[in-house]
Amino acid sequence: MAIRSISHNDEESFKVPLNGPNFAVVYMKFTLTKTDPESRARAGELHTDHGVISTPIFMPVGTAGTVKAVHQKELKTEIGAEIILGNTYHLYLRPGLDLIEKAGGLHKFINWDGPILTDSGGYQVYSLSDIRKIKEEGVKFQSHIDGSRHLFTPENVMDIQRTIGADIIMAFDECTPYPCDYKYAARSLEMTHRWLKRCCKRFDETESKYGYQQNLFPIVQGSTYTDLRKRSAEFVAKQDRVGNAIGGLSVGEPAEEMYAMTDVVTQILPKDKPRYLMGVGTPANILQSIALGIDMFDCVMPTRNARNGMLFTSEGFINIRNAKWKDDLSPIDLNCPATTSHTHSKAYLRHLMISKEMLGSQIATLHNLSFYLWLTKEARKHIIEGDFHSWKNQMVKKVSTRL
Amino acid sequence: MAIRSISHNDEESFKVPLNGPNFAVVYMKFTLTKTDPESRARAGELHTDHGVISTPIFMPVGTAGTVKAVHQKELKTEIGAEIILGNTYHLYLRPGLDLIEKAGGLHKFINWDGPILTDSGGYQVYSLSDIRKIKEEGVKFQSHIDGSRHLFTPENVMDIQRTIGADIIMAFDECTPYPCDYKYAARSLEMTHRWLKRCCKRFDETESKYGYQQNLFPIVQGSTYTDLRKRSAEFVAKQDRVGNAIGGLSVGEPAEEMYAMTDVVTQILPKDKPRYLMGVGTPANILQSIALGIDMFDCVMPTRNARNGMLFTSEGFINIRNAKWKDDLSPIDLNCPATTSHTHSKAYLRHLMISKEMLGSQIATLHNLSFYLWLTKEARKHIIEGDFHSWKNQMVKKVSTRL
Task: Work out the mean pLDDT of chain A and round it to a whole number.
Answer: 93
Interface contact B87, partner A, CB < 8 A: no
Question: What is the pLDDT averaged over residues B246-264?
Answer: 97
pLDDT of B127 over the 80 cut:
yes
CB contact under 8 A, A95 and B351: yes
Interface contact A344, partner B, CB < 8 A: yes
Name chain A contacts of B65, Cβ cutoff 8 Å. Answer: 348, 351-352
Interface contact B66, partner A, CB < 8 A: yes
Residues 6+ apart with CB under 8 A from B228: B182, B185, B186, B189, B221, B222
DSSP B325: G
CB contact under 8 A, B357 and A66: yes
**Min distance B71 CA to chain A CA atoms (Å):** 7
CB contact under 8 A, A99 and B352: no
Pick from B68, B326, B352: CB nearest A357: B68
Interface contact A99, partner B, CB < 8 A: yes
- Percent of chain A residues topping a pLDDT of 70: 93
d(CA B387, CA B390): 6
pLDDT of B250 over the 90 cut:
yes
CB contact under 8 A, B102 and A362: no
pLDDT of A7 over the 70 cut:
no
**Min distance B27 CA to chain A CA atoms (Å):** 30
pLDDT of B331 over the 80 cut:
yes
Sign, CA torsion B73/B79/B82/B88 = negative
Interface contact B77, partner A, CB < 8 A: no
CB contact under 8 A, B359 and A68: yes
**SS3 assignment, position A58:** strand
The confidence score (pLDDT) of residue A125 equals 84
The confidence score (pLDDT) of residue A4 equals 33
pLDDT of B94 over the 80 cut:
yes
Pick from A65, A68, A102: CB nearest B358: A68
d(CA B289, CA A199): 64
Query: Picking from A95-104, A305-314, B25-34, which range would have the lowest pLDDT averaged per residue?
Result: B25-34
Pick from A99, A348, A363: CB nearest B327: A99
**Angle, CA A74 vertex, CA A160 and CA A49 arms, to 5°:** 45
pLDDT tens per residue, range A80-126: 999 999 999 999 999 999 999 999 999 999 999 999 999 999 888 88
**C-alpha distances in Å from residue A107, one per residue of A70, A171, A254, A278, B234:** 16, 20, 36, 22, 60
Name chain A contacts of B359, Cβ cutoff 8 Å. Answer: 66-71
DSSP B331: B
Residues 6+ apart with CB under 8 A from B315: B333, B398, B401, B403
Interface contact B304, partner A, CB < 8 A: no
pLDDT of B17 over the 50 cut:
no
| A&B contacts, CB < 8 Å | 104
- Percent of chain B residues topping a pLDDT of 90: 90
pLDDT tens per residue, range B168-226: 999 999 999 999 999 999 999 999 999 999 999 999 999 999 999 999 999 999 999 99
B119 is a catalytic site residue: yes
Interface contact A364, partner B, CB < 8 A: no
Interface contact B351, partner A, CB < 8 A: yes
Q: Which residues pair with B54 in a beta bridge?
A: B45
Task: Name which of A61, A66, A326, A345 to mutate to probe chain B: the one with the most chain B Cβ atoms within 10 A of its Cβ.
Answer: A66
* Catalytic pick among B119, B167, B295, B333: B119
Considering only alpha carbons, which residue of chain B is nearest residue A63?
A: B357
**C-alpha distances in Å from residue B146, one per residue of A350, B129, B130:** 18, 10, 10
**C-alpha distances in Å from residue B84, one per residue of B41, B123, B127:** 22, 17, 21
Sign, CA torsion A115/A121/A127/A128 = positive
Interface contact B103, partner A, CB < 8 A: yes
The confidence score (pLDDT) of residue B26 equals 53
**Min distance B108 CA to chain A CA atoms (Å):** 9
The confidence score (pLDDT) of residue A360 equals 98
CB contact under 8 A, A99 and B347: yes
What is the SS3 string spanning B158-178?
HHHHHHHCCCEEECCCCCCCC
Residues of B112-143 as b/e, b for ≥16 C-beta within 10 angstroms?
bebbbbbbbbbbbbbebbeeeebeeebbbbbb
d(CA B111, CA B121): 22
Pick from A72, A345, A352: CB nearest B66: A352
Pick from B103, B339, B351: CB nearest A329: B103
Pick from A65, A348, A359: CB nearest B69: A359
Interface contact B160, partner A, CB < 8 A: no
Asked if A213 and A167 touch (Cβ cutoff 8 Å), the reply is yes
Name chain B contacts of A361, Cβ cutoff 8 Å. Answer: 358
d(CA A388, CA A391): 5
Pick from B94, B109, B359: CB nearest A66: B359
d(CA B277, CA B243): 11
pLDDT tens per residue, range B35-84: 999 999 999 999 999 999 999 999 999 999 999 999 999 999 999 999 99
Pick from B73, B95, B344: CB nearest A111: B344
Using alpha carbons, select from B248, B253, B278 the residue that is nearest to residue B175: B248
**Min distance B167 CA to chain A CA atoms (Å):** 20
Task: Work out the mean pLDDT of chain B and round it to a whole number.
Answer: 93
Interface contact A329, partner B, CB < 8 A: yes
Considering only alpha carbons, which residue of chain A is nearest residue B323?
A: A95
The confidence score (pLDDT) of residue A26 equals 53
Pick from A103, A347, A351: CB nearest B94: A351
The confidence score (pLDDT) of residue B122 equals 84
Sign, CA torsion A352/A297/A334/A321 = positive
pLDDT tens per residue, range A166-213: 999 999 999 999 999 999 999 999 999 999 999 999 999 999 999 999
Interface contact B315, partner A, CB < 8 A: no
Question: What is the pLDDT averaged over residues A288-298?
Answer: 98
CB contact under 8 A, B110 and A329: no
Task: Name which of A77, A98, A358, A369 to mutate to probe chain B: the one with the most chain B Cβ atoms within 10 A of its Cβ.
Answer: A358
Q: Please tell me which residue, B165 or A123, carries the higher pLDDT value.
A: B165
Query: The complex's ipTM?
Result: 0.94
The confidence score (pLDDT) of residue B125 equals 84
* Catalytic pick among B36, B167, B295, B298: B298
Name chain B contacts of A110, Cβ cutoff 8 Å. Answer: 348
DSSP B252: S
Residues 6+ apart with CB under 8 A from B219: B120, B170, B171, B173, B192, B196, B236, B244, B245, B246, B247, B248, B278
> Which residues of A participate in catalysis according to the annotation?
119, 298
pLDDT of B157 over the 80 cut:
yes
Interface contact B97, partner A, CB < 8 A: no
d(CA B177, CA B221): 11
Name chain B contacts of A354, Cβ cutoff 8 Å. Answer: 94
**SS3 assignment, position A134:** strand
pLDDT tens per residue, range A142-154: 998 999 999 999 9
d(CA A233, CA A239): 10
Task: Name which of B307, B352, B362, B370 to mutate to probe chain A: the one with the most chain A Cβ atoms within 10 A of its Cβ.
Answer: B362
pLDDT of A21 over the 50 cut:
no
Q: How would residue A361 be classed by pLDDT, with cut points 50, 70 and 90? A: very high
Beta strands in B2-71 (DSSP E): 3-4, 12-13, 16-17, 29-35, 42-48, 51-55, 57-59
The confidence score (pLDDT) of residue A126 equals 81
pLDDT tens per residue, range B347-390: 999 999 999 999 999 999 999 999 999 999 999 999 999 999 99
Residues of B161-185 as b/e, b for ≥16 C-beta within 10 angstroms?
bbbbbbbbbbbbbbbbeeebeeeeb
What is the SS3 string spanning B189-222?
HHHHHHHHHHHHHHHHHCCCCCCCCCEEECEECC
CB contact under 8 A, A358 and B361: yes
CB contact under 8 A, A99 and B326: yes
Q: How would residue A17 be classed by pLDDT, with cut points 50, 70 and 90? A: very low
**SS3 assignment, position A252:** coil
**Min distance A126 CA to chain B CA atoms (Å):** 20
CB contact under 8 A, A109 and B348: yes
Interface contact B347, partner A, CB < 8 A: yes
Task: Name which of B63, B66, B112, B353 to mutate to probe chain A: the one with the most chain A Cβ atoms within 10 A of its Cβ.
Answer: B66
Question: What is the pLDDT averaged over residues A347-360?
Answer: 98
Interface contact A326, partner B, CB < 8 A: yes
